[in-house]
């Protein structure tokens, strides 16, 4: 995996600079959200032309409008393509390139950590070296949906967002490896039928309960069970029926119900204590999954 002395992309200053050029309007960025496995932005890009340095993480750009013509130069070779909405521009980490965007364009950019891609390759490609292939305009509905999910999180981060974003990032890495790389996935997944032991599951759930007021990430949760993140997420869902981020969200709602029923804390304080971003997030999810607002639930269980 090329990386050299470059730092992982954690801020706009670490990116190639595609979206920080004059005329581009950035709608949202993950810079202040603390995401660990991916960096994402949502924007309307102005036409531009330039050459860009390498960064270590893998870049995926999904076009949300168009069609628009994009010209790319890579290793001395130039390509030009009219890219339709949903088309993907993929640039492997560690590779400099040039690009010209000929019209205004709405996009989502996301940078996948090289370490996340390596982790998925270890699980699914039997540890063989994996090179992500550059892409220019290919339609990939899975990558498009991943980009839309990330955009939704950028504009309205939800409870358990770190776990959810870790989940999305690993789905994106798996897609890049299976559909946009040199990898030849192995026929069997290591330890696929073993599942979680009762002790591993208990340790994972205990870790969740101890960190409900925070934002535990998938690597930390998997480490509590002594497993790799990819294997843990797959087996945790098999054991509980829910992916980790949904399980955490349900446990947060359960804690909120207990606090509403037995205490006098303000609903805003309960939201924070249960790991929700604010009272509005608690209210929206509580209504969706419990059929009432927190205030209505508190009034009902106390009468």
Tokens 């290793």, residue located: 75
Q: Of 184, 70, 75, 176, nearest to 133 (Cα)?
A: 176
Sort strands 97-101 and 87-91 into parallel, antiparallel or unpaired. Answer: unpaired
Residue found by looking up tokens 């980490």 in the block: 93
Q: Which residue has the tokens 């330890």?
A: 191
Residues 6+ apart with CB under 8 A from 5: none
List, for residues 179-203, the tens digit of each pLDDT value: 998 876 555 444 444 568 888 888 8
Q: Show the tokens assigned to 190.
A: 């290591």
This prediction has a pTM of 0.76
In this prediction, residue 281 carries a pLDDT of 82
Domains of the chain, start order = 12-140 (2.60.120.10), 198-241 (1.10.10.60), 247-301 (1.10.10.60)
3-state secondary structure of 10: coil
Q: pLDDT for 64-121, tens place per residue?
A: 999 999 999 999 999 999 999 999 999 999 999 999 999 999 999 999 999 899 888 8
Q: Which residues contact 52 (CB under 8 A, 6 or more apart)?
A: 16, 17, 18, 96, 97, 98, 99
Place of tokens 């690009």: 99
Give the containing element (helix H, strand E) for 105. Answer: strand 105-112
Omega before 67 within 30 of 0, i.e. cis: yes
Q: What's the rounded mean pLDDT across residues 52-75?
A: 96
């Amino acid at each position: 995996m090329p990386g050299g002395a470059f730092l992982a992309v954690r801020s706009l200053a670490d990116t190639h600079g595609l979206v920080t050029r004059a005329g581009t309007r950035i709608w949202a960025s993950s810079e202040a959200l603390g995401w660990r496995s991916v960096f994402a932005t949502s924007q309307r890009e102005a036409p531009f032309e330039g050459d860009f340095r390498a960064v270590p993480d893998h870049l995926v750009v999904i076009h949300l409008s168009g069609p628009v013509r994009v010209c790319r130069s890579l290793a001395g070779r130039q390509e030009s393509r009219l890219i339709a909405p949903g088309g993907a521009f993929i640039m492997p980490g560690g590779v400099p390139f040039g690009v010209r965007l000929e019209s205004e364009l709405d996009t989502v950019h996301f940078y996948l950590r090289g370490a996340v891609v390596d982790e998925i390759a270890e699980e699914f490609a039997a540890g063989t070296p994996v090179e992500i292939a550059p892409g220019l305009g290919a339609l990939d509905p899975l990558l498009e949906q991943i980009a839309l999910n990330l955009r939704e999180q950028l504009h309205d981060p939800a409870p358990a967002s770190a776990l959810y974003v870790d989940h999305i990032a690993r789905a994106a890495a798996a897609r890049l490896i299976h559909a946009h790389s040199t990898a030849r996935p192995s026929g069997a997944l290591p330890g696929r039928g073993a599942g979680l032991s009762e002790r591993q599951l208990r340790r994972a759930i205990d870790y969740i309960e101890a960190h409900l007021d925070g934002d535990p990430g998938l690597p930390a949760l998997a480490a509590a069970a002594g497993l790799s993140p990819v294997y843990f997420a797959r087996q945790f869902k098999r054991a509980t029926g829910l992916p980790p981020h949904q399980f955490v969200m349900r446990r947060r709602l359960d804690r909120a119900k207990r606090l509403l029923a037995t205490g006098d804390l303000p609903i805003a304080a309960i939201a924070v204590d249960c790991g929700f971003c604010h009272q509005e997030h608690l209210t929206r999810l509580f209504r969706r999954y419990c059929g009432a607002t927190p205030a209505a639930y508190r009034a009902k269980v106390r009468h």
